[in-house]
Copies of this chain bind each other. A is one copy, B any other.
């Protein structure tokens, strides 16, 4: 199985995705928020790139059937009901509803990847179950780190490295890695015993802590704490086979 990791989504448009599995990673925080929403019983999470698009979609779906969630620069978008903190998404707030999610880095990537055979949302909180789904699909895989404002982010790269590690060790897949995938695996192996610290001390972790969101950073760093596999289906992230 070829595994190609992209440290940022910039070059995604040049990558052939037909027939492949794609994993979109945005650890801080949209990938984690997506898991939390689905576990809280949301009907699905609809990733959108721009706030205007989110508002139009809500008007179409109806205000009772949907909620607007998202951030710009880590801060909740004005007039949206929710920001992008995984703790906001509870059965009380989103059960049975569609969550329309618009974030700075992560959500726009789903639109770019939608023509792949399978598109998963991967985070540290669901890394092992996503690795299992990737191993089951057993086709060439592209791991896309959303990064931060166009640049590399350590938490997404660590998560990519963790996925690759699981694919190799737990699922016994022989992988052919591109340079960035090999780098991500090295970074994970080097930092795996201090993942939480590496993320908290990274640029994005420090930035969110400065906004009073250190609790979110910690929550998003809990490996395998949410057993859910979000998969893209007709533009909406839902649980794979109800898992």
Residues on A facing B (Cβ under 8 Å): 6-8, 10-11, 14, 149-154, 157, 178-180, 182-183, 186-187, 190, 202-203
Contacts and interface: CB of A to CB of B under 8 A. Distances in A.
Interface of A (DSSP majority class):
helix
Give 7 nearest A-B pairs by CB, closest first. Answer: A154-B179, A11-B151, A11-B150, A152-B180, A7-B152, A179-B203, A179-B202
A6 B151 contact: yes
B186 A190 contact: yes
Nearest to A191: B186
A180 B190 CA distance: 15
A14 B147 CA distance: 15
A180 B153 CA distance: 8
Contacts of A153: 179
A2 to B, nearest CB: 12
Task: Count identical subunits in the complex.
Answer: 2
Contacts of A157: 183
A167 B8 CA distance: 27
Nearest to A157: B183
Contacts of A6: 151
A24 B151 CA distance: 17
A125 to B, nearest CB: 21
B183 A10 contact: no
B183 A187 contact: yes
Nearest to A189: B190
Contacts of A149: 11, 14
B7 A10 contact: no
A202 B202 CA distance: 27
Instruction: Pick from A7, A14, A157 the residue with the most CB of B within 10 Å.
Output: A7
Given A152-B183, A154-B182, 10 more contacts: A6-B151, A7-B7, A8-B10, A10-B150, A11-B151, A14-B149, A152-B180, A154-B179, A179-B202, A190-B190
